[in-house]
Structure formats: structure tokens, C-alpha cells
Amino acid sequence: MALKLGEFLIGIFKSGRIAVLIVSMFPLVELKGAIPIGTSEAFGLTLAETALIAYLGSTVVCVAEFFLLVPFFNLLKRIKPVKTFVEKVEGVFKKKSSEMTAKTGETTDKKARKLMMLSLFAFVAVPFPVTGVWTGTAIAVFTGLKFRESFLPIAAGNFVAGSIITLLTFLFRDFVDYIIYGLFAIVLIAFIIFVVKIIKSKPNSGGQNER
């Protein structure tokens, strides 16, 4: 599967490096999927090179998402057919942000904000599809953390997650197809659970954080 998937991606992007970079930017997949996929012979990349490119691609997403997430949501909410859905997505992220904030207290307090940053690092460092850069950044945005407070914990957490996936890929290189199958299964399940949560949730009626 890894070889066929690699050949397919190379056919689209015409470059192994670009293919790994783009794949690592996708929500849920991120570097956790890009690293094992990039080990395919079709890419012609070393594991170290694949891991570095995947890390850079998945980390860069944080910068764009942090500053564009709220404006993008606000723009989509002007479109009536998707307004309710977007508000529900926003509500899910705000609920998760509130749960994390409740563990550390008010984010206006310096000590509490440091605890929040540590929690954000730990959240992203766990190598699961639902605990990656995309979700971590959304939580940071709706928790009210500033970019300079969020980027380092997210980048560091992503590095830890990437290191774990790289190690697992190295140790189980002969079973990379199974790793990819498992990853896609987890991503599919995570996506279904997320959609169900959105459908069952109530639209968010609160205001947006200012940036």
C-alpha cells in the first residue's frame, strides 16, 4: 500500500518532498501519516529527511491557522447554508478549550497561562490524529492564548509526536503498510466521531476572541 500510495502522490505533485510536505499539512493526518507514507520507495527519501519535511509542513500550518481560523469562521458564518454547521464546529473547539482552561484556572493569571501552555504541549505531543497541530492551535485560539505563548508549546509537542512516529516507523519499517492501514482506520474513526459531535452539539452563540 505504501508503494502504491507513494506512486499516486508522486504522480500528482511530481516531487517526493512536495508530496510529503502537502500530506503533512492535512488535518488529522499531519506528520503522523506523512512520515510512514513518505518511507515508500517511490519517494526516494531517507527517513530522517521525510521526518524533517513532515515536521516543517505540519508546524507551519499552526501559523496560518492561528491568525486565519477566526476570520475564516466568521466569513463562513455569512453563508447561510453552512452557518449552523460552522457554529457547531466552533462550539466543539470552544468546549474543549473551556475544559482545558478549567484545569488551570483563569488564563489572565501568569502561572495559569504557563500551565495552559504546558497542557497544550502535552496535548499535541500525544501522537494521535485528534491531538495534533490543527486541534491544538484551535484550542489555543479559543482559549485566548497569544501566538507567542502558543507556537513554542505546539511546535515542541509536534516535535515529540514526530519523534515517536519516526522511531516507530524505523523499528517497524517492515510493517509500514499495516501502520498506514491502522492510521487511516484511526483517522476515519476520529473523523466520524468528530462529525457526530458536531451534529449533536448546539450552535455556538458566543463572541469571538479578538486578535
DSSP symbols for 3-30? HHHHHHHHHHHS-HHHHHHHHHTSTTTH
Task: Confirm whether 207 is domain-assigned.
Answer: no
Cell of 71: 476570520
Mean pLDDT within 141-153: 91
Cell of 190: 476520529
Q: Residue 106's pLDDT is what?
A: 53
Mean pLDDT within 75-98: 85
Task: Confirm whether 104 is domain-assigned.
Answer: yes
Task: Confirm whether 165 is domain-assigned.
Answer: yes
Q: Encode 106-148 in three state secondary structure.
A: CCCCHHHHHHHHHHHHHHHHCCCHHHCHHHHHHHHHHHCCCHH
Spatial separation of the C-alpha atoms in residues 181 and 152, rounded to whole Å: 31
Task: Confirm whether 60 is domain-assigned.
Answer: yes
Q: Which domain holds residue 193?
A: 2-200
Task: Confirm whether 211 is domain-assigned.
Answer: no
Task: Confirm whether 135 is domain-assigned.
Answer: yes
Q: Residue 24's pLDDT is what?
A: 92
What are the tens digits of pLDDT across the range 182-197?
Answer: 878 888 888 888 788 7
| pTM, 2 dp | 0.82
Nearest to 33 by CA among 58, 69, 14: 58
Task: Confirm whether 156 is domain-assigned.
Answer: yes
Task: Confirm whether 111 is domain-assigned.
Answer: yes
User: How many residues does this entry show for the chain?
Assistant: 211
pLDDT of residue 167 exceeding 60: yes
Q: Residue 2's pLDDT is what?
A: 58
What are the tens digits of pLDDT across the range 4-39?
Answer: 777 788 888 888 899 899 989 998 889 998 998 888
- Total of domains in the chain: 1
Cell of 128: 494521535
pLDDT tier, 181 (very low <50, low <70, confident <90, very high otherwise): confident
